[in-house]
Amino acid sequence: MKKIIIPKEIVTVNESNEIIRDKAVVIEEGIIKRFIPKEDVKEYSDEFEVFDLSELTLLPGFVQTHVHLCQTLFRGLADDLELLDWLRKKIFPFEHRHNAESLRFSAALGIHELQTGGTTTILDMGTINHHRSVFEELIKADMRAVSGKCMTDMNDLYPDFKEDTKKSLQTSYELSEEFHGANGGKIRYGFAPRFVLSCTEDLMIEAYQMTQDFEGAFYHTHSSENKGEIAVVKKMTGKENIEYFDSIGVLGENTVLAHSIHTNEKEIEILKERKVRVAHCPSTNLKLGSGIANIPRYLNEGISVSIGADGPPCNNSLSMFEEMRAAALIQKPIHGPTSMDALTVLRLATIEGAKALHLEKEIGSVEEGKKADLILLDLNGSDKSLLDDDENIYSDIVYASNKRDVKDVMIEGRWVARDGKSTVYDEKEIVAKGREELLKLLARAKT
């Protein structure tokens, strides 16, 4: 388990955004023990496995705070629709037909894509049934994750796809008892009522109370994504989404709200006061035509913002590079080209994601004492800046890189990708098995 990595440079994303060029990283028992001068590495070579990656740039692994591993099988099957139709016509009927095996390969494909693209931590929302399969794959792949089954006890959009309130709560609680803290603490539970329109007030409130029984557990839902959704929420509750959540007492620093696009002044105040975490999903927000969240405003207000790719059927990629680029670009026509600079966006994709999940003491930056969740990028191609001063490195990562530039990925000292290939999965095999499961699922959907 003792390793030394010699990178070209270390993009630390620490408090002072230091870039270190003359040091190697010593890793013991999954922890970044110290940085040592590159010329001292030979003194360690008897005892340590040395990885000379001196052409590559070392960064903290990305943290995505809103994904749906259960939807990976459905990529490309639900394009060009508006949110409520997307759910009613495609996603709810598909999720309803998942069995344990189709869900397993959906999770495996998603984890493979995330890890080989440099994402080492996720906040994942599951589907109603069979969520155990997702946990089993997360553990197999050593993914760091907060995950939980989706809770849905009413559904006017697709009435077949719902569960009894008590059963939803009980199953969630039992899964949390079994998996919260699993795999050496890499797994934590996230109670996940889907959104206001598919949850009774009792379910929303009791699920929130359950999070209090598990230290470090999360409350993860969607909010204020689409104007049509908001109009129905208003009709149902008399309130806007976030005002409603606040009125039933489910907002706090363990609450992550995906999207939060259409928010009024009072809601922005509530987000700030309650220390709610906003998970920004720029590509999905564009593709579903939902709108553009005012992220520069949230950041000015000191609201926690981090980034997620959301689900493959509404993006259709799980690459953090595409999300970073979109997060920067979509604000510029509205707030000007100086809003959302590259470094700000890279921080949202790493340390701010860690902070959102209360993991900033463990991950999110490359610092002594933190866990070795690390990625190595090749920024030497003809499609990159020709200079490698600090500013150009951030520019290359956010504006000019893609997942193919990710060469090596480590989670807590274990390589999960080497030279662009997963060490966990055989890509051809999971694609073939995933396809087989998808075809069976689509056949089930016809009956």
The span of 109-117, 309-317, 335-343, 366-374 binding Zn ion (CB under 5 A) equals 309-317
CB of 316 to Zn ion, least distance (A): 14
Q: Which residue is nearest to Zn ion (CB)?
A: 310
CB of 70 to Zn ion, least distance (A): 11
Q: What per-residue string of b and e applies to 210-243 under the rule 16 or more CB within 10 Å gives b?
A: bbeebeebbbbbbbbbbeebbeebeeebebbbbb
DSSP3 helix / strand / coil % (the chain, rounded to 5) = 40, 25, 35
CB of 148 to Zn ion, least distance (A): 13
CA separation, residue 133 to residues 113, 138, 225, 314 (Å): 17, 9, 28, 22
**Count of residues near Zn ion by CB under 5 A:** 1
The span of 304-312, 343-351, 352-360, 364-372 binding Zn ion (CB under 5 A) equals 304-312
CA separation, residue 53 to residues 103, 244, 377 (Å): 36, 51, 10
Beta strands per DSSP E along 155-314: 187-193, 218-223, 255-259, 277-280, 304-307
Which residue, among 341, 339, 309, has the nearest Cα to 323 in the 3D structure? 309
Does position 229 interact with Zn ion (CB under 5 A)? The reply is no
Nearer to Zn ion, 326 or 393 (CB): 326
Nearer to Zn ion, 163 or 310 (CB): 310
Nearer to Zn ion, 310 or 378 (CB): 310
CB of 309 to Zn ion, least distance (A): 10
DSSP 3-state assignment of 309? coil
The span of 130-138, 146-154, 243-251, 307-315 binding Zn ion (CB under 5 A) equals 307-315
Does position 310 interact with Zn ion (CB under 5 A)? The reply is yes
Q: Judging by beta carbons within 10 Å of its beta carbon (0-12, 13-18, 19+), is residue 39 exposed, middle or buried? A: exposed
Does position 124 interact with Zn ion (CB under 5 A)? The reply is no
Cβ(285)–Cβ(331) below 8 Å? no
**Contact characters 378-407, Zn ion, x per CB under 5 A:** ------------------------------
CB of 222 to Zn ion, least distance (A): 6
Nearer to Zn ion, 8 or 66 (CB): 66
Instruction: List interacting residues with Zn ion (CB under 5 A).
Output: 310
